[in-house]
A and B are shown apart, each in its own frame.
Chain A
């Protein structure tokens, strides 16, 4: 029997993979993918709780999160494109003009 706990553990695992990936990977596109993974882990958590509580709030929240995630990627990719025009193949380590 697969109980709700398993889904929550899976979601927590996905969230952790996303968070660690964001911190260790240097390619901006992979970093965005890690953010998406974190947001989708949250979606899975919302759906699981929504089903457990028999409440529609959790499922509705997922739609809002999906829309926000899409908008976020649009903005992020636009910034990456702007940087790539100036410096092709830039990774996060190349962006180090600001420090002190």
Chain B
């Protein structure tokens, strides 16, 4: 045997923290098996209900993990490559909630578009399992695998509307740019490995604390490439070019998952790698994140104004939201991380709700996504228009909505970290962005509906999903303390810890 192979030993595995991941991935595989065996005898709502149940199952199994973290403190398992802490539990719960809501939205949509079948739900759950893996990854290769599981499923989801040329075009664009970004991320991992001699974030953090590697060229190049790869996933400028096209072309329920789930997983990975892993050399990456945040805020807010398609408007607004979240990342403080988690939860609710409304309004073929199709929605469907208004006002950051507290928290974190200019620019961007949300509201309430507009049918699933997120947005807007406390707890355990073997 080669001497190098003698180093490999089988690590001890704690199964409890892995159960949520196994439930999510297992539910996908079992659903595929059931449908291929007895598919014709199942009711049409079966796959959707199964996915909702799987998401709720993940929520239920995340609770014992959280209790265990409270008892033992944050720890890691499988040779330190899986981090078990409140941070990962927070993201896991967020992703499970996203899966539940997306499955509700997709139910009516897939039947309307003639895309029935388990494929959507299987890919959705597999992708979420990848995102959950990113949230717990304390090892760069585990992080890469999670990112690829997440991305490969989303590439297919984006391109799955086979009768729409736009969907396939969006799929190939997302795939090519995504593969490009993954290669950069991977090269970054290889360079960091070369500089520090380890793939494990706990080891890397220890090495950076003890050795002065702050001006090591390999490490700096590796960090830059990691930032490119993760910046692409969270749609930060200048890695945002795919976002408007993909959001416009992809099926609307897929976009709601991408905006909420993929972004949350991307930011979870960004925080784990940069805040926890590279926290010792924060001076090296903070200025770069500062630049990304300003560029995202400016480009996202400005370019959204000239768009005429609601999905494109919301795509640019998601870029601007990524800028706000980067403001919290840039602070590189515990408060900053807590503000990022709170923002991710608030944004997930707003984004899912907004794209649920688009799914319903766009009509057969997913065609009517222009702002014209929303004209007079208040006269046609008053409740839907009111719900969409609440979600848009929350995106704009109006008080008494979750969006207000989210923006307040990230800007407070930036001020506390003495990034005053970033805070000022973030507030200016919020004002500019408010204009474009109000433009949609005006179209819904002040314009008359087109005389030949068909009657809108609102399936039960999207109606329930919109009701849940609107209630969440208003409840958190009035009483944000529970979610704020959860986010505060989560950050306490993000700092890396000695593995328990």
Contacts and interface: CB of A to CB of B under 8 A. Distances in A.
A48 B193 CA distance: 11
A57 interface: yes
Interface string A62-100: 001100100110011011101100110000100111111
Given A22-B180, A68-B148, A71-B152, A83 B172 contact: yes
Interface string A18-62: 110010000010011001001101100110110011111111110
B159 interface: yes
Q: What are the 6 A-B residue pairs with the smallest beta carbon separation, nearest first?
A: A38-B183, A49-B194, A98-B245, A45-B190, A95-B169, A35-B179
Interface string B186-204: 1101110110011100000
Interface residues of A, number: 48
Contacts of A22: 176, 180
A23 B182 CA distance: 15
A76 B175 contact: yes
Contacts of A58: 190, 193
A31 B155 CA distance: 16
B166 interface: yes
B442 interface: no
Interface residues of B, number: 45
B309 A65 contact: no
Contacts of A99: 245
A100 B307 contact: yes
Contacts of B8: 56, 60
B197 A53 contact: yes
A15 B182 CA distance: 13
Contacts of B169: 83, 95-98
Given A53-B197, A57-B198, A98-B166, A35 B183 contact: yes
B454 to A, nearest CB: 24
Contact of B141 (A53, A61, A78, A97): A61
Contacts of B165: 86-87, 97
A78 B171 CA distance: 10
B168 interface: yes
Contacts of A41: 187
B483 interface: no
Interface string B157-179: 00100100110111111011001
Contacts of B187: 15, 38, 41-42, 45
Contacts of B162: 82
A35 B148 CA distance: 14
Given A57-B199, A79-B175, A71 B168 contact: no
Contacts of A98: 166, 169-170, 173, 244-245, 248-249
Given A18-B183, A53-B197, A100-B309, A46 B190 contact: yes
A64 B141 contact: yes
A1 B190 CA distance: 24
B4 interface: yes
Contacts of B307: 100
A85 B441 CA distance: 41
A79 B159 contact: yes
A76 B179 contact: yes
Nearest to A86: B165
A82 B193 contact: no
B156 interface: yes
A25 to B, nearest CB: 11
B206 to A, nearest CB: 16
Interface in B183-233: 183, 186-187, 189-191, 193-194, 197-199
